[in-house]
Amino acid sequence: LQEIDNLSNIISRLPSLGPRSAKRIVLHLIKNREYLIDNFISCLNDIKHNIRYCDSCHNLSNIEICNICANARRDHKIICVVEDVTDLWAIERSKSYNGLYHVLGGTLSAISGVAPEDLKINSLIKRIASGGVEEIIIATNATIEGKTTSHYLVDQIKHYNIKISQPAYGIPIGGEFDYLDDGTLIAALNARHDLVNG
Ligand SMILES: [Zn+2]
């Protein structure tokens, strides 16, 4: 049926879903259409119209400045730089960090053609240059691209006379932030080490 194929095709393009699980989801929606489909449509509409990126840190938000940046009880002197919102979620889940974030939106990659101007690097420099920041934690993933990005960032910000640190990874090379358990993440953040002065 064309209607079922159309929706399955869209769903199968979502992360970690293949064609078979997509079909099962469509079947589930059809069987529960009374209470699921209208809710589904209205949630998708809410996301489409209300969710945007924070003007300061590029976290997801439904207002100009996200509730982390707007929270006066958080430490505005520390910025933790992450690749994507999933990394921010992982750190927030661990409840081990009380500073602000900066979401780059990816990593530098020669192979995929991602250049510095494709990431939110300029806005990070602006935040640092505007003053008040005492420490930048570079929490990119321990992948080759993550490390390349980290080196580039250090080069760009080291002359600002602020502390630049990195979480101590208790994880294998290539491990990604979002897959760390909370204990490992808390330990890695607490034991962060200085990237410039050793
Ligand atoms: Zn924000």
User: pLDDT higher for 37 or 185?
Assistant: 37
Distance (Å) from CA 1 to ligand 1 centroid:
44
Q: Whole-prediction pTM value?
A: 0.85
User: pLDDT higher for 178 or 69?
Assistant: 69
- Going 31 to 33 to 34 to 40, the CA torsion angle's sign is positive
Do 80 and 100 contact (CB within 8 A), yes or no?
A: yes
**Mean pLDDT confidence for 175-179:** 67
Distance (Å) from CA 152 to ligand 1 centroid:
23
Given a cut of 70, whether residue 174 has pLDDT beyond it is: no
Question: So what's the pLDDT on residue 101?
Answer: 98
**Mean pLDDT confidence for 110-131:** 94
Q: How far apart are CA 76 and CA 96, in angstroms?
A: 15
Beta strands in the chain (DSSP E): 52-53, 60-61, 75-82, 99-103, 135-138, 163-166, 193-194
Distance (Å) from CA 66 to ligand 1 centroid:
4
**Mean pLDDT confidence for 38-45:** 94
User: pLDDT higher for 176 or 9?
Assistant: 9
**Mean pLDDT confidence for 125-131:** 95
Cβ neighbors of 66 (< 8 A, separation 6 or more) are 54, 56, 57, 59, 60
Token pair in block for residue 43: 């949630």
Distance (Å) from CA 60 to ligand 1 centroid:
8
Question: So what's the pLDDT on residue 175?
Answer: 56
pLDDT in tens, 146-172: 999 999 999 999 999 899 998 876 554
Q: How far apart are CA 23 and CA 11, in angstroms?
A: 8
**Mean pLDDT confidence for 114-131:** 95
Question: So what's the pLDDT on residue 82?
Answer: 95
Question: So what's the pLDDT on residue 172?
Answer: 47
Range of lowest pLDDT (41-50, 63-72, 127-136, 138-147):
138-147
Question: CB within 5 A of ion ligand 1: which residues?
Answer: 54, 56-57, 59, 66, 69
Mean pLDDT of the chain, nearest integer: 90
Distance (Å) from CA 149 to ligand 1 centroid:
21
Q: Quickly count: other Cβ atoms within 10 Å of residue 110's Cβ.
A: 9
Rg (CA), the chain: 20
Q: How far apart are CA 171 and CA 184, in angstroms?
A: 8
Question: So what's the pLDDT on residue 182?
Answer: 74
Distance (Å) from CA 133 to ligand 1 centroid:
15
Portion of the chain with pLDDT greater than 70, in percent: 94
Distance (Å) from CA 77 to ligand 1 centroid:
14
Range of lowest pLDDT (30-34, 103-107, 156-160, 182-186):
182-186
Q: Quickly count: other Cβ atoms within 10 Å of residue 28's Cβ.
A: 11
Count, residues in the chain: 198
C-alpha pair distances (Å), 148 with each of 99, 145, 188? 24, 5, 20
The HSE-up count of residue 3 (CA atoms within 13 Å, CB side) is: 4
Distance (Å) from CA 103 to ligand 1 centroid:
9
